[in-house]
Amino acid sequence: MRKEAVVAENLKKKYFTKKRKGVLKAEKEIVEALKGVSFKIYSGEVVGLLGPNGAGKTTTVKIISTLLIPDEGNAWVYDYHVVKEANMVRKHLGVLLSVEKGFYGKLTGRENLEYFGLLYGLRRDELRKRIDYLMKLLELDKLGAADRLFEEYSLGMKARLGLARALLRDPPLLLLDEPTLGLDPPSARKIRELVKDLAHKEGKAILYTTHNMFEAEIVCDRIILINKGRVVAEGTPEQLKSLIPAIRTINMVVKGSDNVKPILQSLNIESYKIERANGIYNIKINTLKPEELLGELLKKFVNNGYETISLKIEEPTLEDVFIYFAEKGE
Ligand SMILES: Nc1ncnc2c1ncn2[C@@H]1O[C@H](COP(=O)(O)OP(=O)(O)OP(=O)(O)O)[C@@H](O)[C@H]1O
Ligand SMILES: [Mg+2]
What is the model's pTM?
Answer: 0.86
Distance 55 CA to ligand 1 centre (A): 7
In a domain, 328, yes or no: no
Q: Is 270 exposed, middle or buried (0-12, 13-18, 19+ CB in 10 A)?
A: exposed
Query: What is the C-alpha to C-alpha distance for residues 46 and 201, in angstroms, rounded to an integer?
Result: 12
Residue 329: which pLDDT band, with cuts at 50, 70 and 90?
low
Q: Which residue puts its alpha carbon closest to atom 2 of ligand 1?
A: 15
Q: Which residue puts its alpha carbon closest to atom 18 of ligand 1?
A: 56
- The DSSP-derived string for 205-226 is EEEEE-S-HHHHHHH-SEEEEE
Mean pLDDT of all residues in the chain? 92
One domain for residues 189 and 274: no
Give the atom of ligand 1 at the shortest distance from the alpha carbon of 58.
22
One domain for residues 34 and 60: yes
Is the pLDDT higher at 148 or at 323? Answer: 148
In a domain, 330, yes or no: no
Mutate to test the pocket of ligand 1, among 11, 12, 14, 15 (most ligand atoms within 8 A of CB): 15
One domain for residues 129 and 257: no
15 touches ligand 1 (CB under 6 Å): yes
Residue 1: which pLDDT band, with cuts at 50, 70 and 90?
low
One domain for residues 77 and 192: yes
One domain for residues 259 and 238: no
The predicted-structure confidence for 248-281, as pLDDT tens digits, reads as follows 889 999 998 878 888 998 888 878 899 998 889 9
Q: Which helix (H) or strand (E) holds 205?
A: strand 205-209
pLDDT reported for residue 18: 85
Mean pLDDT of 140-166: 90
Mean pLDDT of 288-314: 89
210 touches ligand 1 (CB under 6 Å): no
* Domain total of the chain: 3
Give the atom of ligand 1 at the shortest distance from the alpha carbon of 13.
12
One domain for residues 180 and 270: no
Mutate to test the pocket of ligand 1, among 28, 32, 58 (most ligand atoms within 8 A of CB): 58
In a domain, 189, yes or no: yes
One domain for residues 76 and 10: yes
Q: Is the pLDDT score of 99 beyond 80?
A: no
Q: Is the pLDDT score of 35 beyond 90?
A: yes
Helix or strand or coil: residue 182?
coil
Q: Partners of 176 in the beta sheet? A: 96, 208
One domain for residues 31 and 76: yes
Report the CATH number at residue 177: 3.40.50.300
Helix or strand or coil: residue 153?
coil
pLDDT reported for residue 145: 86
Of 243, 275, 307, the one marking the end of a domain is: 243
Distance 113 CA to ligand 2 centre (A): 24
Percent of the chain with pLDDT over 90: 68
pLDDT reported for residue 60: 97
Q: Which residue puts its alpha carbon closest to atom 25 of ligand 1?
A: 53
Domain assignment of residue 311, given as a range: 248-316
The predicted-structure confidence for 187-240, as pLDDT tens digits, reads as follows 899 999 999 999 999 999 999 999 999 999 999 999 999 999 999 999 999 999
One domain for residues 150 and 191: no
Is the pLDDT higher at 244 or at 115? Answer: 115
Residue 155: which pLDDT band, with cuts at 50, 70 and 90?
confident
One domain for residues 4 and 76: yes
Distance 225 CA to ligand 1 centre (A): 16
Ion ligand 2 nearby residues (CB, 5 A):
57-58
Of 223, 243, 263, the one marking the end of a domain is: 243
One domain for residues 125 and 86: no
One domain for residues 70 and 113: no
